Amino acid sequence: MKHTFYLLLCLFSLSVTAQQTSATMTLKAKGADDVGMTFVEKPFDELLAQAKKENKVIFIDAYTTWCGPCKMMAAKVFPLEEVGKVYNERFINAKFDMEKGEGPGLARRYGVAAYPTYLFVDGNGDIVHKGIGYIQQEEFLALADAATGENSLGAMNKRYESGERDAGFILTYTEVLTSLMEDGKARKLAGEYLDMQEDLSAPGMMELLLLNPGEAGSKRMTFLLENADDAIKASSAGTFMMTIQRSLVTNYMKEKGAQQLPAADEMAPIYKAHGGAIAQRLTDHYNMLYAEQTRDNEAYVPAAVKYYNAYGSDNAMELNSVAWTVFETSDDPEQLKAALGWAKKSVEMEPGYANMDTLAWLYSKTGNKEMAKKTAMEAIELAKKDGQDYSETAKILDEK
C-alpha cells in the first residue's frame, strides 16, 4: 500500500521515449500546433556549427526508445506554450536516441547514465548544464534559467578550474554535482577540499563534512562524531545517522572485500572504537538497519521500537514509515502502542494523507474504533484534496 522505510539510499534511473522522425525535418513536440518546443534534427557537428554561428546553447533530449517517462514529457511538457517560448528562444533544441546513430557516442562523451537526461552544450561541445528525469513545467523552466545562470555546471566548472575555493562555493558546486548524479566527483571534490582545512569548525564546513564524512578514525569522521548534535542541527537526525552508517559500513565492506551487508556483531567493535558518545546509538541503529535490509521482521520490529523509543526522530515521514511497518507486522500490544505514538507525532509534525491513514489504522488495530473512524474521515478529506485513492482507508468506516 505504501511507505516502505528506506534506510539505504537507492538510485533509480528514469527513462524516456520519443517520436521517430525523418532525418531532415524540423519537429514540433507532439500535440503542438503553433506552440511548444521545436526540435531540429541534424548531425551533432552541424548543431555545433549552428550554435557557434548563432551564439546559442544546444539543448539535447537524450532518450532511449525502451523507456517510459518521456511519453509524459512529450505529451505534457514539451508542447506547453510557455516552455516553447523559453526553450525555442534560448536554445537550439535537438533529440538523440542514445542507442542509435550518434547517440552511444554522445552518451559516452557526456556521461549519460539515466533517462531522460537533458544536456546543455555550447558550440565548442563543452557541457554547460544537465538535467535528469521527468520534470514538470515550473521546474523545467527553472532548468533553463539554471543552464544560463552563474550556477550552471559549466560556469561552476570554470570557476573551480580558475582556482575558486571558498567554502560557500565548494558547497554549492558539490550540491550541483550531486543533483546531476555526479556523486563521485562531488565526494572527491569535497574530500580534497576538507583535507586541506585545518579548522573543521569554520562556517560552511559541517555541510561539506556531511557530504564526505571520511573513514573510521579519520579527522573528518572523528569531528562529526564528536559534534553529532551540531551535525544533526545542520541536517536531520536521520540524515546524519545514515551518513555515518553508509561511510562506516561501506569502508568496512571494502576493507574485508565483502559483498553482503555485515552482521550487527561485526560492526559493533567499530562503533565501540570510534563512535564515542553515540556508540550505543550507532549500534542500536545498525541493529534495526540490518534487520530491515535482511527482511527479518521478527528482529526489525523490536529493534525499531528500541531505537525510536530511545532516540525519536525529527522526520515526520520516517516516523510514519516505521509506524506503518509495525502496524503491518506486529500484534504485540506494547509495540503497537509505540507505533501509535510515532504516528501521532508524525501527524503533529506534518499532517498528510499518508500518515493520517497510518494513524487511523493503528487506532483501529489497538481497539479505538471511534478515533479510527474520525481520523479516517480526516485522511479521506486530505486524499480528496490531492486526488489520491482513499478506497483502502474508507474500509475503516465500515468496521463495527
Do 68 and 119 share a domain, yes or no? yes
Do 308 and 339 share a domain, yes or no? no
Q: What is the largest CA-CA distance in the chain?
A: 75
DSSP string of 363-387?
Answer: HHHTT-HHHHHHHHHHHHHHHHHHT
Q: How far apart are CA 229 and CA 225, in angstroms?
A: 9
pLDDT (average), residues 172-196: 76
Kindly state the cell numbers that stand for 294: 535482511
Residue 400 lies in a domain: yes
Any idea which of 66-80, 102-116, 357-371 has the lowest mean pLDDT?
66-80
Kindly state the cell numbers that stand for 92: 537550439
Q: How far apart are CA 255 and CA 269, in angstroms?
A: 15
The pLDDT-based confidence of 3 (bands split at 50, 70, 90) is very low
Query: Is 60 exceeded by the pLDDT of residue 234?
Result: yes
Q: How far apart are CA 332 and CA 326, in angstroms?
A: 9
Q: Which of 122, 119, 17, 104 is nearest to 60 (CA)?
A: 119
Among residues 98, 119, 152, the one where a domain terminates is 152
Q: CB under 8 Å to 188, separation ≥6 — which residues?
A: none
Q: What angle do CA 280, 293, 307 make, to 5 degrees?
A: 30
Q: Which of 259, 252, 322, 330 is nearest to 285 (CA)?
A: 322
Do 305 and 369 share a domain, yes or no? no
User: How high is the mean pLDDT of the chain?
Assistant: 85
Residue 101 lies in a domain: yes
Residue 336 lies in a domain: yes
pLDDT (average), residues 97-119: 88
Q: Are residues 397 and 377 in contact, defined by beta-carbon separation less than 8 angstroms?
A: yes
Do 343 and 303 share a domain, yes or no? no
> pLDDT, tens digit, for every residue of 294-345?
889 889 999 999 999 999 998 998 999 999 999 999 999 999 999 999 999 9
Among residues 152, 167, 188, the one where a domain terminates is 152
Q: How far apart are CA 53 and CA 55, in angstroms?
A: 6
Do 307 and 326 share a domain, yes or no? no
Domain that holds residue 264: 228-314
Q: Which residue has the higher pLDDT, 127 or 181?
A: 127
Do 326 and 306 share a domain, yes or no? no
Among residues 314, 341, 365, the one where a domain terminates is 314
Number of domains in the chain: 3
Q: Which residue has the higher pLDDT, 76 or 124?
A: 124
The H or E element that residue 38 is part of is strand 38-40
Query: Is 70 exceeded by the pLDDT of residue 357?
Result: yes
Question: Any idea what the CATH number is for the domain that residue 133 is in?
Answer: 3.40.30.10
> pLDDT, tens digit, for every residue of 263-305?
999 999 999 999 989 999 999 999 999 998 888 988 999 999 9
Do 284 and 356 share a domain, yes or no? no
Residue 269 lies in a domain: yes
The pLDDT-based confidence of 20 (bands split at 50, 70, 90) is very low
